[in-house]
Amino acid sequence: MKRTRYFGAVLAAMLALSAPAGAQTPAPAKDPAAIAALESMSAYLRTLKAFQVESLTTTDDVLDDGLLSQQAAKNTFLVEMPNKLFVTVSSDAKERSFLYDGKNFTLWASRSRYYATVPAPATVRELDDELNNKYGIEIPLADLFRFGSPTWNAADITAAVDLGPGTVLGVTCQHYAFRQDGADWQVWIQKGAFPLPRKLVITTTDDPARPQHSAVLSWNLAPSYNAEAFTFVPPADAKRIALAVVSQ
Partner 1 sequence: MTRLAKSSIAIALALLVGPAVAVPAHAGDRARTSVNRNKNENRNTNVNRNKNVNVNSNRNVNRNVNVDRDVDIDVDVDRHGCCYHHHSGWGVAAAVTTAVVVGSIVNTLPPSCTVVMVNGFTYQQCGNTWYQPQFVGTSTTYVVVNAPR
Q: DSSP code of 145?
A: G
Interacting span for partner 1 (CB under 8 A) from 19-27, 79-87, 133-141, 161-169: 133-141
Q: Looking only at residues 3 through 62 of this chain, which bind partner 1 when binding is defined by CB under 8 A?
A: 57, 59-62
CA distance 6 to 14: 13
Q: From the CB of 164, what's the least distance to partner 1, in Å?
A: 21
Task: Please name the amino acid found at residue 50.
Answer: A
- Print the binding letters for residues 139-168 with partner 1: x by CB under 8 A, - otherwise: -xxxx--xx-x-xx----------------
Q: From the CB of 118, what's the least distance to partner 1, in Å?
A: 10
Q: Is the Cβ–Cβ distance between 144 and 155 less than 8 Å?
A: no
Please, which contacts does 65-74 make with residues 24 or more away whose CB atoms are closer than 8 Å?
A: 66/208, 66/209, 67/209, 68/209, 68/211, 73/140
Phi then psi for residue 4, to 5 deg, are: -60, -45
Interacting span for partner 1 (CB under 8 A) from 24-32, 103-111, 164-172, 223-231: 103-111
* Largest CA-CA distance found in the chain, in angstroms, rounded: 86
CA distance 83 to 121: 9
CA distance 96 to 240: 14
Q: From the CB of 222, what's the least distance to partner 1, in Å?
A: 25
- List the one residue from 76, 90, 204, 231 that touches partner 1 (CB under 8 A): 204
- List the one residue from 9, 43, 136, 235 that touches partner 1 (CB under 8 A): 136
Per CB under 8 A, 198 contacts partner 1: no
Q: Is the Cβ–Cβ distance between 201 and 178 less than 8 Å?
A: no
Q: From the CB of 28, what's the least distance to partner 1, in Å?
A: 16
Interface ranges with partner 1 (CB under 8 A): 57, 59-64, 69, 89, 92-96, 107, 109, 111-112, 114, 116, 128-129, 132-138, 140-143, 146-147, 149, 151-152, 178, 180, 182-183, 185, 202-204, 206-207, 211-213, 239-248
